[in-house]
Amino acid sequence: MDFKAVMPILGFDTVSNLTLEPIDDIFYRLANSEGEAPSFTLIQPGALREDYIFDLPKSAAEKLELENAEDAMVLNIVIIDTPLENSHVNFIAPLVFNTKNGTMAQVVLDSVKYPDYGLADPLKAFFKAAENAS
């Protein structure tokens, strides 16, 4: 699905047209529709943590023209490493997609309000948490 960035991905202010494609049930690929870099690997946060909940700032909701929470899809950027469990997830700056109108935005959350959401949380920490829960 194609999306227009109404709030840019940090560091990529000139990239506004993006294509989101599923890789599998939890991973996605987000790429510049204009054929040039960048390309990002994204993950559904619910696959890693059940406690990932935040209030979307009103300004972001307005720019995305989000009328219903059901129209929003939240994904997080993964910094891939080898082996995969050495990868990191950015929980403090999620990407929010309005699947109804094709807009997207990166939202930077307040680290004081959300101290458990890091910029580069180790993926293996969530694998260990899942193992301990079972």
d(CA 42, CA 8): 16
Q: Does residue 91 form part of some domain?
A: yes
Q: Which domain holds residue 115?
A: 2-129
The per-residue pLDDT for range 61-83, each reduced to its tens digit, is 999 999 988 999 999 999 999 98
Q: Does residue 60 form part of some domain?
A: yes
Q: Does residue 84 form part of some domain?
A: yes
Q: Does residue 27 form part of some domain?
A: yes
Q: Does residue 134 form part of some domain?
A: no
| Amino acid, res. 8 | P
Token pair in block for residue 83: 């082996």
The per-residue pLDDT for range 84-134, each reduced to its tens digit, is 889 999 999 999 999 999 999 999 999 999 999 999 999 988 876 545 554
Q: Does residue 80 form part of some domain?
A: yes
Number of domains in the chain: 1
The three-state secondary structure class of 94 is coil
Q: Does residue 25 form part of some domain?
A: yes
CATH number at residue 53: 2.30.290.10
Q: Does residue 101 form part of some domain?
A: yes
Task: Say what the pTM is.
Answer: 0.91
